[in-house]
Amino acid sequence: MSYEKYILRLILEIPLSEFDGDMRMPTRLETSMRVANVHTLREIFTQYQNQAALLSATQVGKKTVRDFVAILMELEKRHGVRFDWLEHPKT
């Protein structure tokens, strides 16, 4: 397993409740995810195919989802991993 895939796997398993500091998960989105029984990034990517699906499922504002996507993009920059969910939304 490559280092990139190893890091991606670790990031995907981080509980959403662990995001803090400058990586803080927007509170309303985190609450919505818990209600939907989603606790890790992997579960989000499995259950929601793209930003639009996540937005409609969680009933939070577009800004909240944009903030969440910004967190994912920052993770990509920091760790050199790629979230295909951001680049290639499923249809």
Check which CATH number belongs to the domain holding 10 and give it: 1.10.150
Number of domains in the chain: 1
Select the more confidently predicted residue: 1 or 78. Answer: 78
pTM of the prediction? 0.74
Measure the CA–CA gap between 1 and 6, rounded to whole angstroms.
Answer: 6
Residue 22, domain extent: 3-87
- Mean pLDDT, the chain, rounded, equals 81
SS3 for 39? coil
2-39 b/e with 16+ CB inside 10 Å = b?
eeeeeebeebbeeebeebeeeeebbebbbebbeeeebb
User: Is the CB of residue 40 less than 8 Å from the CB of residue 12?
Assistant: yes
For residue 88, what pLDDT band results from cuts at 50, 70 and 90?
low
pLDDT exceeds cutoff 80 at 29:
yes
Burial class (CB in 10 A: 0-12, 13-18, 19+), 62: exposed
